[in-house]
Structure 1
Amino acid sequence: MLKKQFFIFFILVLNVFSEEYEFTGTHLMGDYLECSNSALTDLKKLEKIMIEACIEAKATVLQQSTYIFPPDGFSMIILLQESHASIHTYPEYNSCFVDFFTCGTSCDAKKFDEILKNYLKPKRIREKIFIREDTIKEAVKQKASISKNFVSKTYSKIKIVSK
């Protein structure tokens, strides 16, 4: 009996590790602007939310690493069996950059995105989801929004002229 259980376990484990992925992936890149500052600076809670978002998106968490930029900023990378998730916070701007890339087609980038947005509560969002294969294409076409009068980080005023 024990021999049979071990054999079944071995076959199941072999199946998990021998799974082949198609040469395709989904890549979510997002800028979350005007987020809740308390949510953005709570490292322990955001770490928990990031891991929860990965799991809910059907990704397999392997490791997590964080680097703190004093006083409150940090970068967090989560290594996934399918690839990675990351967040880079800018509390002084109440904003962050989010990245979720997974190989294959089994993970749900929209679910990951939904959980993070629900926690961080950004007032403005710039994001795109790309399908990466032998070419890179947008999963859903999204219209870019550009302010008519834009001030760059160097504070030189740029006027956007449309045809």
Structure 2
Amino acid sequence: MIFHHTQSIMGKHAIIDLSGCDSDIMRDRESILERLKQAAQIAKVTVVGHFEHYFSPEGYSAVLVLEESHLSIHTWPEYRYISLDLYSCNLETDFDAVEQFLAQEFKATTVESQLLKRKFSPTPVSAPVSLVQRLMGRRC
């Protein structure tokens, strides 16, 4: 058996809260999805699909499924608040640029964020080292 005693970073996860946003922009659902797609381009991640949901009387959620993981947005126009998540296993993803872009686009007056390193401790494996190395070298 092979034991690895160190933790590996699988990705980074940004949790971003935007407050004091422009509620008129937040009610334009098509432009929200477009802004989210622009943020993905800025982050240099690859969008492979998306899902969106409209709430009544207002509010919107969308998730971009990324080759590298996901980017999600949840809006509350009545509170002028937006909650965002960006998780990417590409450690070169530019989280700061995404935060700045979306804060500017939604005219947020307050931005709070956290950047988490998503880690795991590999479990013992009985595979040859070369196979483990190949698996650990994959994109995500």
Q: Which residue is equivalent to 1:96? A: 82
How far is 1:104 from its partner?
2.9
- Whether the 8 Å CA contact 2:53–2:60 is kept in 1: the answer is yes
Q: Matched residues, percent identical? A: 27
SS at 1:118 equivalent:
helix
- Whether the 8 Å CA contact 2:48–2:67 is kept in 1: the answer is yes
Point out where structure 2 has 5 or more consecutive residues left out of the alignment. Answer: 1-7, 122-140
> More relative contact order in 1 or in 2 (CA 8 Å, sep 6+)?
2
Q: Which residue is equivalent to 2:36? A: 50
Match of 1:120 among 106, 117, 120: 106
SS at 1:24 equivalent:
strand
Q: Distance in 2 between matches of 1:121 and 1:127?
A: 16
Does residue 77 of the first structure (1) align with residue 68 of the second (2)? Answer: no
Point out where structure 1 has 5 or more consecutive residues left out of the alignment. Answer: 1-21, 136-163
How far is 1:70 from its partner?
1.3
TM-score in terms of structure 2 length? 0.76
RMSD of equivalent CA atoms: 1.5
4+ residue runs over 3 A deviation: none
- Whether the 8 Å CA contact 1:35–1:122 is kept in 2: the answer is yes
How far is 1:83 from its partner?
0.1
